[in-house]
Chains A and B, each alone.
Chain A
Amino acid sequence: MGFKFKGEGASTRGRAFLTFSPRSFLPAIPFLLIFGYFFLFPISRLIYVAFLSNENTLTFSNFVTAFQEPYRTGFINSIRIGLFSAGITAIPGAIAAYFIETRGPSKLRRTIAVMSGVLANTGGVPLAFMFTAAIGLQGQLTKALKAAGWDIYSGHFSLGTFTGLLIVYLYFQLPLMVIVFSPAIVSLRTEWIEAARNLGANQFNYWIRIGVPLLFPSFIASFLLLFASGFSAYATANALTVGNLPLTPLQIGGLLDGNVSAQQLNLGKALGVVMILISAMAVVPYLVIQRRAAKWQQR
């Protein structure tokens, strides 16, 4: 017979005390085992080890070092690149999502959805190549701009600098914004704009009183997710910089590879824990806002 389900009538009301009869969670065991072993266990171990000294005694010293130079600058740069790349793409991405979702024919919308999916996941060497080919020293756009009288390399610009990396990050952040913000646009009902007009609201009134308030939480949520994405991106930064730009993911990668040696063996773990905390500060509110918005979005 395999496993048996609880009877139809069994309600979940009786929450007074949680009775964990085997049946109530047995079928979830494969999931919990795999997820526990391959995710919860490594993360817990990471957190635990971050508090160990070289002699395996408990210590805070890894975290103390994690907030000193050069790691301090690494965090500042990573947070800045997360904030800037999200800040620059959020509004254009939202507007693009709005026009595509409200005015685009179905085939176009689906093509753009796929394209955004692919582009939001580009990174690393392929993305580095594309930008080197476009705005690298010998890039096509560089030449075109030079011919038009603007030499972007006349100053300190290079793709490996903060500004250069920021420009490259926009390439996956913008499609990501389109992806995460589109559902909010789709859930704006035509009935609302029609009802508003019927009640005497012009376009401006509608946006101020209804449209913007409804989209705003999703906008903030999307911004937070973009921040987390820019903050923790590794592959692209790794491909474009040569140790000249301190970023936390690169520093962790260096410590992991053994390319960079530190006095404290477990410093990389502490950096990882701090990264998780910062990322959680953005992603957790993102998840909470999405959940709330789902209340009116789903029907």
Chain B
Amino acid sequence: MKRRIDIPLVATLSVLGFFVFIPMLSAFEFSIRTPLKGGYGWDQYIWAVTEEDFMHYILRSGWLAAVTVVITLLILVPTLTWLHLSQSKIRPLIDGLSLLPLVIPVVAFAVGAQISFPEFMQNTVLELPFLYFVLALPYAYRSLDIGLSSIPLKTLTEAARSTGANWLKTITAVIIPVIRGAVMATVALTFALSLGEYTLTVLLHWDTFPTWVTYVAQENLLGAIAISMMSLIIPFLVLTGLTLLAPERSAQRRK
């Protein structure tokens, strides 16, 4: 079958491509420079990954993001399941609340957070996952909401309950597997947002991977560029891989 070249599409992609890749490739070119030897090499990348702090901060950001994901799922999946099943009067209220964080600029939220929590909380980095949860809430909530709307939730729960599953089992063995697409999207989104969060973290004086990069930049600019490149390209590759491997969303409407 011959494919005709779609000129508007190709033109769009070319323009976008230039816009996106020129800055990215320019920075990449910087990151592989070796000023002492002249020419190019992977020196900065090798320096970065062998630097002790690199692993330290990656792991720290990683587990903070993982905790955020766990908090998000633990709170949202049961709550949303209940909201969908019970036709509760407070559903519009909770729907509305979940969107509120979109309205608040992160800087303003950071100021509020700084003056609100007792000392013992401000002294533990565990305050971050809860705040990240709030930042990711509008997206996570919507994604799970759409997932739950698209399945016959009532029938599924009734079937599970009637065959003897308790609520915990119903949620973990029936509902989550059925909406795994939405759950995966929520996990990816929450994880990525937590991993890359900068504004709130830095204003509350915490050190995570993104704030560490800023710190490195003051000492080793090329190294910091190399780290920035990795922090941009690795999530992109991982996420692209995941979406392309995941099954197509079914039922294209077009005939």
Question: Do the two chains touch directly in the complex (Cβ atoms below 8 Å apart)?
Answer: yes
Query: Which residues on A are within 8 Å of B, measured CB to CB?
Result: 1-3, 5-6, 8, 10-12, 15, 18, 24-25, 27-28, 30-32, 34-35, 38-39, 41-43, 45-46, 49, 92, 95-96, 99-100, 103-104, 106-107, 110-111, 113-115, 117-119, 121-126, 129-135, 139-141, 170-171, 174-175, 189-190, 228, 231-232, 234-235, 239, 248-249, 252-253, 256-257, 268-269, 272-273, 275-276, 279-280, 283-284, 287
B187 an interface residue at 8 Å Cβ cutoff?
no
Leading 6 A-B pairs by shortest Cβ distance: A232-B105, A42-B112, A126-B228, A46-B112, A272-B108, A130-B23
By the criterion CB–CB under 8 Å, are B88 and A25 in contact?
yes
Partner of A118 from B6, B130, B235 at Cβ < 8 Å: B235
Q: Is the CB of B22 within 8 A of A141?
A: yes
A234 CA to B13 CA in the complex, in Å? 29
Bound-complex Cα distance A110 to B252 (A): 14
The answer to whether A283 and B103 touch across the interface, beta carbons within 8 angstroms, is yes
Docked CA distance A161–B133 (Å): 34
Q: Does B29 contact A (CB under 8 A)?
A: yes
Distance of A95 Cα from B76 Cα, bound (Å): 35
A123 to B94, CA, bound (A): 31
The A interface, classified by DSSP as helix, strand, loop or mixed, is helix
Do B248 and A106 touch across chains, with their CB atoms under 8 A apart?
A: yes
Q: How far is the CA of A214 from the CA of B168 in the complex (A)?
A: 44
Instruction: Annotate B105-146 by CB proximity to A: 1 below 8 A, 0 otherwise.
Output: 111111111111100000000000011011001000000000
A110 touches B9 (CB 8 A): no
B115 and A28 within 8 A (CB): no
Contact A130 B27 (CB under 8 A): yes
C-alpha spacing A41/B189, complex, angstroms: 25
Report the Cα distance A242→B71, complex, angstroms.
Answer: 37
Q: Would you call B8 and A24 a contact (CB within 8 A)?
A: no
Interface flag for B100 (CB, 8 Å): yes
Instruction: Indicate which residue in B19, B117, B130 contacts A174 across the interface (CB closer than 8 Å).
Output: B19
Are A34 and B108 in contact, CB atoms less than 8 angstroms apart?
no
Q: Let me know if B22 and A134 touch, CB within 8 A.
A: yes
Residues of B within 8 A of A231 (CB): 105
Chain A residues, CB < 8 A from B113:
38, 42
Interface: B172 (CB within 8 A): no
For residue B174, which residues in chain A have a CB less than 8 angstroms away from its CB?
Answer: none
Minimum distance in angstroms from B24 CB to a CB of chain A:
6
- Tell whether, in the assembled complex, residue B104 and residue A276 are in contact, meaning their CB atoms are under 8 Å apart: yes
Q: How far is the CB of B182 from chain A (nearest CB, A)?
A: 15
Which of B83, B99, B229: most chain A CB closer than 10 A? B99
Interface pair A133/B20, CB less than 8 Å apart: no
Bound together, the chains give a CA A25 to CA B189 distance in angstroms of 28
Chain B residue nearest to A27 (CB atoms) is B82
Of the residues A28, A39, A272, contact of B111 by C-beta under 8 Å: A272
B contact set with A: CB distance below 8 Å = 6, 8-9, 12-13, 15-16, 19-20, 22-27, 29-30, 71, 75-76, 78-79, 82-83, 85-90, 94, 97-117, 130-131, 133-134, 137, 154, 166-168, 189, 192-193, 196, 198-199, 202-203, 210, 213-214, 217, 224-225, 228-229, 231-232, 235-236, 239-240, 243-244, 248, 252-254
In the complex, A127→B29 CA distance in Å? Answer: 15
CB atoms of A125 and B228 under 8 A apart: yes
When A18-B89, A45-B116, A283-B103 are in contact, do A34 and B26 touch as well, CB less than 8 Å?
no
19 A-B interface contacts by CB (under 8 A) = A12-B89, A30-B75, A35-B134, A35-B137, A41-B116, A104-B9, A118-B192, A124-B198, A126-B213, A129-B217, A133-B27, A171-B19, A171-B23, A189-B253, A232-B107, A253-B107, A273-B108, A279-B104, A287-B99
- Among candidates B90, B111, B224, B225, residue contacting A269 with C-beta atoms closer than 8 Å: B111
Q: Specify which of A38, A41, A117 is in contact with B133 (CB 8 Å cutoff).
A: A38
Measured CA separation A107–B103 after assembly (Å): 33
Q: Bound state CA distance, A242 and B170, in angstroms?
A: 55
Give Cα A123–Cα B16 distance, bound, in whole angstroms.
18
**B214 to A46, Cβ gap below 8 A?**
no
**Bound: A269/B217 CA distance, A:** 30
Tell me, in angstroms, the Cα distance from A139 to B99 when the chains sit together: 40
Complex: how many Å from CA A114 to CA B189? 10
B105 engages A42 (CB within 8 Å): no
**CB contact under 8 A between A129 and B27, given known A43-B104, A268-B111, A272-B111:** yes
Q: Max chain B CB contacts within 10 Å: which of A25, A43, A253, A279? A: A43
Q: Specify which of A2, A42, A171 lies most central, judged by the most chain B CB atoms within 10 Å of its CB.
A: A42
Contact assessment for A110 and B243 in the assembled complex, using a CB-CB cutoff below 8 Å: yes
